[in-house]
Structure 1
Amino acid sequence: MIRFPQPLQPGDRIGVTSPSSGVPQALWPRLEVATQWLRDRGFEVEVGDCMDGDSSHVSAPAVARAGELQRMLTDPGITAVVPPWGGETAIDLLDLLDWDALAAAEPTWLVGFSDLSTLLLPLTLRTGWATLHSPNLMDTPYAAPEGLAHWTEVAGATGSVTQHESGVHRTGGFDDWEADPSPTAYRLEGRGAWEVASGDEIEVSGRLIGGCIETVHHLAGSPFGDVPGFGQQYAEEGLILYLEAAEASALDICRALHGLRLAGWFEHANAILIGRTEAPASGEFIQREAVLDALEDLDIPIVFDVEIGHVPPQLSLVNGALTHLTVLDNERTITQELG
């Protein structure tokens, strides 16, 4: 059974650690803006030791990063763990974590996206913990646009949460936090809608699971990426898989998706959500064609340009939640049952 962490409330303690890449000193002012944003809303914030972003592509040796993450996730006084951002090699923690201890502990919210998918996905698959794919700590001060819910709202919710297509997305690239660490509003000048590849209208339900294609596809066939087994466990309800490309070329994404298909990730899928992406084409071969090349023949509804991943804004998606997806001419919603 999926186990949901206790709802996040003012007064709760939030742990901050960097299980992948740390924060360079030049960006610590943005980190301080983000932690203060949480404190201003009544949360206590504990910043861990594994935060160095200047010495390497990781914040600390793998053993230290795994130990700090494990401690925070199993500390009953910490309600949520929110890393500053993703990185490159969170995969090196997977065989260092004590999965039996995590499975025996009361669940804690683990929050983030990008390379953090490498941890979110196995945590749900192996322990039954619900995990939260959403903006990371450094993005936390940004306001969610109309229709979307801020991750603190979803982590604090009971019952169900419904989010709507926002119809907008970021343009103009990332904010320069080194020059100005204070932004709290995305530049959302782009326009776009969720689009079913077949042109059909759909209403489907299933258990939600997914992440960043570049990181999670390496887990297929390992003990940490048994999505086919998760699908069998929830075969009666089926799955809704969500995937997003960060920066890999269309041909790389195509190969990765074919690999996931061959590994059985889509056998129990009722729908596949594909995040809006700015990842590059491979010559004339574009990202949408990469998805269709790998997945179109599965005869599963594919929904493009969903607010997932590296093009803000972002839906807050709970891995493991029973989810109801509606894509009609006059309604585009995703409702998650949190419990």
Structure 2
Amino acid sequence: MIYPTWDKSANIGVTAPSSGVSPELHDMMKLAIRRMEEKGFSLTVGPTVWTQHKAKSAPASTRANEFNEMMADDRIGLIFPPWGGELLIEMLENVRFEDIRPKWILGYSDLSVLLLAVTLTTGIATAHGTNLIDLRGDYSDETSAKWQAALSTRQGESVTQYSSPLYQKEWTHDTPSPCVFHLQEPTEWRVVGNRAVTMQGRVLAGCIDVVRHLIGTPYGDVQRFRRQFAHDEPIVWVLENCEISTVDLRRSLVQMKLAGWFDDCSGILFGRSSANRPVDGYTVEDVYEELSEELRIPIVYDIDCGHVPPQMTFVNGAYAEIEVAEGKGTVKQTFLP
């Protein structure tokens, strides 16, 4: 594994490999940029950030070219898109994976397609965490703010994160506050079987709605990643659901299992989701229980990851040691080669 190095003095490249920001939301994006500059960061903002047409910021080749250019720019140490979207997968065939340099890429949702593809293909760590536009507040909660500590960790060092005390149940953009998130609901990490669990292994994370489409492509070879970059160590999966029903979630997880993505998996963490809609009485808890029984591994859910904030920063490729008990979780990630 290769871990990028970054510090606050490095430039941040802002590009939109999935969705850009439509004109009516430009003020929100400008505020996020201003907040980052007030905190001492310098940013290079690409044209794709300011455009949005037919569910994408720009044509696939345009998005890929801007990403490739920022990856080649020695001044830029972090690629930090505004947010996710829908159609990032279109640009993968135009990404110059052979030329990718070790620099951080940070985000979640549709961006996790790019994050996972880069790590699986190149062995370069990427970071599944907050989006740039969610940092537009006067300050961030402790969980979300941990992205800086995670990205500043050096090879051989560790970063430890703890489950949040509170989470945001619903998005309320119409009631802005000094902290973007309205954290009011008590956080409880739940475990299938209601017991204390531990798990260890290399982290792979993503939004299941979109990363499932990497199966069978040159960018989704999990077993090659384990052999070539992860010393055949077990995998800890961190997955979150944006908008699929429980039966679609089940179909996706079975597909991942049949594709070998869960071979030598030591455990799975699932983020909180408002999309886990039951179908004919089939609940998300049923999904988790069936998967745990089939794979014979611990499964933890309602963790700090994904579209129900706040979220931890999970580093694809890092070695994780995870402990969960009595509704609380600890995640230690060590940047092992």
Give runs of aligned pairs for residues 123-138 of structure 1, distance below 5 A: 123-138=118-133
Task: Tell me which of 103, 107, 126 is aligned to 1:112.
Answer: 107
Give, in angstroms, the shift of residue 71 of structure 1: 1.0
| Partner in structure 2 of residue 187 of structure 1 | 182
Matched, 1:227 2:222: yes
CA change 1:148–1:183 in 2 (3 A) is closer
The answer to whether residue 316 in structure 2 is matched with residue 319 in structure 1 is: yes
After superposition, the C-alpha distances for 1:30-67 in whole angstroms (9 at most, x for unaligned) are 11111112111211111101124443211111111000
1:12 counterpart residue number: 10
SS at match of 2:48: coil
1:145–1:166 contact (8 Å) kept in structure 2: no
Match of 1:3 in 2: 2
CA RMSD of aligned residues (A): 1.9
Is residue 19–residue 52 contact of structure 2 (8 Å, CA) maintained in 1? Answer: no
Shift of 1:225: 0.9
- Maintained 8 Å contact 2:110/2:210: yes
Q: Counterpart amino acid of 1:297? A: E
Call closer, same or farther: CA 1:232–1:296 in 2, change over 3 Å. farther
- Name which of 196, 206, 219 aligns with 1:211: 206
Aligned with 1:101 (options 90, 93, 99): 99
2:30 aligns with 32
What letter matches 1:163 in structure 2?
Q
The offset of 1:295, in angstroms, is 4.5
One-letter code of the match for 1:289?
Answer: D
SS of equivalent to 1:230: helix
Q: Confirm or deny: 8 A CA contact 1:148 1:166 kept in the other structure.
A: no
The structural deviation recorded for 1:165 is: 1.1
Amino acid at match of 1:241: W
Gaps of 5+ in 1: none
Q: Structure 1 length normalisation: TM-score?
A: 0.92
Aligned in 2, Cα 1:148/1:48: closer, same or farther, shift over 3 Å? closer
The amino acid that maps onto 1:319 is: N
Q: Report the equivalent of 1:66.
A: 64
Q: Is residue 247 of structure 2 the alignment partner of residue 251 of structure 1?
A: yes
C-alpha deviation, 1:330, in angstroms: 8.5
Tell me which residue corresponds to 1:47.
45
In structure 2, how many angstroms separate the alpha carbons of the residues matched to 1:50 and 1:7? 24
SS of residue in 2 equivalent to 1:257: helix
Structure 2 unaligned segments of length 5 or more: list them: none
The 1:41/1:211 distance shift into structure 2, 3 A limit, reads: same
TM-score by length of 2: 0.92
User: Which residue number in structure 1 is paired with residue 263 of structure 2?
Assistant: 267
Q: Map 1:285-324 onto structure 2 (within 5 A).
A: 285-324=282-321
Q: What residue in structure 1 maps to residue 274 of structure 2?
A: 278
8 Å contact kept, 2:163–2:187:
no
